[in-house]
Amino acid sequence: MPAKWAIYHPQQGQEGFALKDLIDGYQKFLLRADRSRYADLCGGQKPHTLVIGCSDSRIIPEEIFSAGPGELFVLRNVGNLCCTDDPSVASAIEYAVGHLGVSRAVILSHGDCGAVKAACHPEHLFERGIRSWLEKECYSGASLEEAIKSWGIRQLERLEVFPVVKEAVEKGKLKTSLLYFDLGTLRLDRYDGADWIVVL
């Protein structure tokens, strides 16, 4: 017999109470959602850009780039890392570039990145998971912003050695970029391969 979904009641039990804010947010989403857009997307996706960003709750690629559903293929992890030996990173890149054919891949670094700050104080990384995730990274630079930007450049270099990325770039089908979003001012900087340029 097929399972039936119960109608969710936000006042039920502890779990229901914990979910209430999310359900309230979902109700607001339903009021503003572009239903025809979602219906059109049921058959598949054709995003134009792969974004590799940080899991940081303050950095929301779709919000920063005013993108709707179906536009960005997003991989978020702690520190917007582009590890070449991580299956999660590799699969996202291979799928977005090789299968979906995005025309741009962006590393999105950001101000006040906790992962970069943690690399400055590795003695504070007690948990096994976060330690192994960040142990290959380093803090380099005279200021936090400089360190975050150097960190971003390393991720861009890693992105560009993925075979699927290399091939797409060589064929002129893909461009790679590194951006830095400054939280406090909302300024966006772009790395041009040698210098950082203020976009806006």
| Nearer to Zn ion (CB atom), residue 73 or residue 151 | 151
Q: Is 190 a catalytic residue?
A: no
Which is the catalytic residue, given 56, 82, 158, 189?
A: 56
Full 3-state SS string of 64-76:
HCCCCCCCEEEEE
| Nearer to Zn ion (CB atom), residue 137 or residue 174 | 137
**List 50, 89, 96, 113, residue binding Zn ion (CB under 5 A):** 113
**In this structure, what token pair is assigned to residue 5?**
């979904």
Minimal distance, residue 25 CB to Zn ion, in Å: 23
Query: Is residue 158 within 8 Å of residue 83, measured between CB atoms?
Result: yes
Q: Is 113 a catalytic residue?
A: yes
**List 56, 137, 145, 189, residue binding Zn ion (CB under 5 A):** 56
Range in contact with Zn ion (rule: CB under 5 A) among 15-23, 44-52, 55-63, 68-76: 55-63
Alpha helices in the chain (DSSP H): 13-32, 35-41, 61-64, 87-93, 114-120, 128-134, 144-159, 163-170
The SS3 assignment for 126 reads coil
Range in contact with Zn ion (rule: CB under 5 A) among 46-54, 138-146, 173-181, 186-194: 46-54
Minimal distance, residue 40 CB to Zn ion, in Å: 33
Q: Is 121 a catalytic residue?
A: no
Q: Is 54 a catalytic residue?
A: yes
Regarding 54 and contact with Zn ion (CB under 5 A), the answer is: yes
Strand-by-strand arrangement of the 196-198 sheet: 72-77, 49-54, 104-110, 175-181, 188-191, 196-198
Active site residues: 54, 56, 58, 110, 113
